[in-house]
Amino acid sequence: MFGFGSPDPVSLVAILFAFAVGITVHEFCHAWSALMLGDDTAERQGRVTLNPLSHLDPVGSIGVLLIAVAGFGVGWGRPVPVNPNRVRWRQRGLAVTAIAGPASNLVIATLFAVPLAIVDTAQLNPDVVSIATYMVLVNILLTAFNMIPVPPLDGHKILVGILPNFWYPYLAPLERYGIAILLVLIMSGFLFGGGILREMYLPVFESLLGVLLPEPPIDG
């Protein structure tokens, strides 16, 4: 999709750069929003920063590289610690800190999509166009993927936060099994060739892409 998988060197660098920026801003916004809501746990761990080294996970970064080179895989940044007992408004506050991440990626995608829509890209350096396009694509991908309502993704925290309090005791404990649930979904996709996670985020991805970048300047 749009050059993901065995890309040329410029595309490879553009994809990796876009992921580095997207993940860094995503995790920073989690940490900053938690601090604004009264929880300084992330701040005390040095996470309220735009330094990529504070947010990129070694194993997750390998996953990002796999996406860029092979066109499939799952990458992630270091999870931001949030203490639910210190966050204002409890589960509602947790939902705010959760949505701050994907919302930041949507803002980044929009900031790069607007110039691509109003400027004649044929008159620009192709490498610049490639970088800007992948900034849009990758950040739309981060937005859509993280909105999946499955723990430990942000969508689950948002769902728990917006549903009536009745559901909290049933949904919140699933967080402790989040990694296992995500791994089962990933492995089921590999084993049965379905790509369950892909089907869960693709409608949101395509909808956002249709709005922000209806005619991608690079080939799909």
Integer Cα distance of 204 and 196 in angstroms: 14
Share of the chain above pLDDT 90, in %: 62
Q: What is the mean pLDDT of the chain?
A: 90
The pLDDT tens digits of the residues spanning 131-144 come to 999 999 999 999 99
Q: Please compute, for residue 162, the number of CA atoms within 13 A of its CA located in the half-sphere on the CB side.
A: 12
Active site residues: 27
Q: State pTM to two decimals.
A: 0.92
**Are residues 166 and 155 in contact, defined by beta-carbon separation less than 8 angstroms?**
no
Task: Write the burial class of residue 135 (CB in 10 Å: 0-12 exposed, 13-18 middle, 19+ buried).
Answer: buried
Phi, psi of 45 (to 5 degrees): -100, 10
On the question of pLDDT at 172 being above 90, the answer is: no
- What per-residue confidence (pLDDT) applies to 218? 67
- What per-residue confidence (pLDDT) applies to 124? 87
